Chain A
Amino acid sequence: MLACLLLVMTMPLLIGIGLFLKSTLLLDNNSIINLLFSKTWKPLNQNFGFYPFIISSIWVTLTAIIIAAPICLLTAIYLTQYSKKYFLKIMHPVIDILAGIPSVVYGVCGVLIIVPFVSTIAPIFGKQSSGYTILSGGIVLSIMITPFILNILIEIFRNIPDELKEASLSLGATKWETIKFVLIKKASPGIISSIGLGISRAFGETMAVLMVVGNVTKIPKNALDPGYPLPALIANNYGEMLSIPMYDSALMFGALILFVVVLFFNIISRLTITKLEIY
């Protein structure tokens, strides 16, 4: 049992080391700055600029967070402060189901609903679009990360002691003032942390995004452009071009970037929730 435990604990380390070793071929031949910021991706010419993919990933992730975070925050506040207790009880399994739906299913729904929707509204912003865009990816992702963010937020708000609420109310604050000035403040480390975890999930999500985002190697200029996030790049190409060792190494480097970013946000959000209890 101890061996299993050790295996589980060292797994992230092993994956990290493995990815790094596999990337060394690429890293030996290119500067890391060049890899991260060069805009040219021409594997056959040995040009491995990850910039378009990194920017796409950031765009998709940010779009998802911007949509999901406020919705989750208001939902959590409503469920814990306003609605009847049984409503929260009903919501818990709903949230779990949402979290358990396979990624492809979200992708299919995205293609069937979100993509046509985005294609329809694009002209409002003066653009023609197939609907396979950053925005579509962001919307699908926002739905996918909602259960994770929401679960944390509900837990945070439920654990705020009644006495704190009572203290504010007894000073003549209204319920809304209490929520706005006291509860949200008290919950802020948790809110930051939940967003961090949301980012780390969104950044690495592959299948559903890949299906709706267009996968065009170009730097997106706005949310109605198609994009090509890192995970999609790896999933689409891995296994095809392995005859070119440098390409293989480049995809591994892409995976390493993903791994580091996801790990970073994970650790940061865990630290905020435990350490940032400044008040």
Chain B
Amino acid sequence: MTTALPAQPRTASEHLEAVARVQGVAKRYGSGDATVHALRGVDLAVRRGEFVAIMGPSGSGKSTLMHLLAGLDSPTSGEVWLGDREIGALDDTALTLLRRERIGFVFQAFNLVPTLDVIGNVMLPFELRGAKPSREERTFIGRLLGELGLADRLGHRPRELSGGQQQRVAIARALASRPQLVVADEPTGNLDSRTGREVLSLLASAAAGHGQAIAMVTHDPIAASYADRVVFLADGRVVAEEGRMDAERIARFMLTLEDAR
């Protein structure tokens, strides 16, 4: 594990640039003998314009980490920062507003509001803010929907879509309002490899072109190779972290992780 680097931000300026940051977070479920340690002290910062992939064996705590990073759940101990705000200090409403303004999500499953059609789901973040998208934003969203192959599906309800199409709608929604942070839990999990690659390019260009921070969980080494940085979790800890890696190295590293178990 010689490639592993410490996950802490090294300078003050990196601190400032971090869109989201967790520090020493632990998350436990249950109590007594039945306690599950989902996370055992993790530090991670996602910076502006950075595309980070999170990898690790099943049950290693990736989803848990994403939920904390996005302010959806609170840690058992440790701190979670969104920009310059520590979320432990925020009340429910303040946290809700923060999420609404700054974060876009793609979950592992059940992403869409069943009573809204595709365009309704994509526009929901704007409506929640009470903001009308500008003309420029509308063009952007139109292009996004086109690139995701949803242009002729706008009036459909989620149940009329395949799993992969639903996931693409969720991706469109997460990117539509260009939030500072996009958290995506296996966004390519239900997609064929070509559509998957298109989604990954979209995420990469959201980071490079619009300066958004992207945190993406994935099991797929090829998907992770699109990221600027790959973070490996195992058993609730960050065990390795490296800049851009090619798929083959990622795959080899994952195998050693899984063998080590």
Whether A and B are associated in the same complex: the answer reads no
- Interface of A with B (CB < 8 Å)? none
